[in-house]
Amino acid sequence: MAGRFYGIGVGPGDPELLTIKAQRILTGVDVLCVPKSRMEKESLALTTVKAVVPGDHKLLELEFPMSRDRAVLENSWRQAGQMVAEELLHGRDVAFITIGDPTLYSTYGYLLRYIRGNHPDIAVETIPGVSSITACPAYINEPLVEGEEKLAVIPAAYDLDDLQRIMETFDTVVLMKVNRRLPELVEYFNRFDNIATYFVNRCGFPDQFASDQLDTLQEQKLHYMSLLIVKKRRDY
């Protein structure tokens, strides 16, 4: 009998933000799938889990390249999917752990697609996690949207060509992973006088910090786990 595949969001990095359900499932699974990029010395998701979940799990490290080449990405997803499927077909319960939420810009989605497409009989359960999209405004005590306000979420590491249109349409814009593009974003948003901007770096980790003075950040070394909240100023 095949094992069950779990996609588990472990929150933004603070172990206390791991949900009770996630902790319960992680305590009982046989294998932890740990996504890593070549940039990471240790998985941030695994660091979070180790702080609150006892036991010695089998670790299955899955390396995902930081590439925009579709062929390279699809090959890595296929290889990772094959490795996960092998564990599941041997009857082991497998949890893929991911920082934040597994349905938001997570490589879990690619593995889920592989398992569903190639092993449709395998049971799958997705466990939501606290996302940085909500953890960061909570950290700075700033409501994200209110009333009829509209929210947009953008992966800033990629295309920003339509930012002008987005700013015109939405009341709050969250730009994720802004560290490398912060200088050009600062230059862009300095043209507006009716917005407030908040930068948050490594929310949920001991060295987290936030700033609403973007000009002071451009010489600092910033982590890729960073985001920028841009809000139109309210009239009240």
**Mean pLDDT estimate for the chain:** 90
- Least confident range from 12-16, 39-43, 66-70, 96-100: namely 39-43
Q: What is the per-residue pLDDT across 55-93, written as a single tens digit (0 to 9) for each?
A: 788 999 888 877 777 888 888 889 999 999 999 999 999
> Cα-flanking dihedrals φ and ψ of residue 19, to 5°?
-75, 160
Q: Give start and end residues of each alpha helix (H) in the chain.
A: 20-28, 44-50, 70-89, 108-118, 132-139, 163-169, 182-189
Q: Is residue 22's pLDDT more than 90? A: yes
- In this predicted structure, what is the pLDDT of residue 37? 65
- Least confident range from 52-61, 94-103, 156-165, 182-191: namely 156-165
Mean pLDDT of 144-170: 88
Domains and CATH numbers, the chain: 5-127 (3.40.1010.10), 132-232 (3.30.950.10)
- In this predicted structure, what is the pLDDT of residue 210? 95
d(CA 33, CA 45): 10
- In this predicted structure, what is the pLDDT of residue 41? 64
CB–CB of 177/155 below 8 Å?
Answer: yes
- Least confident range from 100-109, 133-142, 181-190: namely 181-190
Residue 26's pLDDT band, with cuts at 50, 70 and 90, is very high
- In this predicted structure, what is the pLDDT of residue 235? 62
- In this predicted structure, what is the pLDDT of residue 35? 83
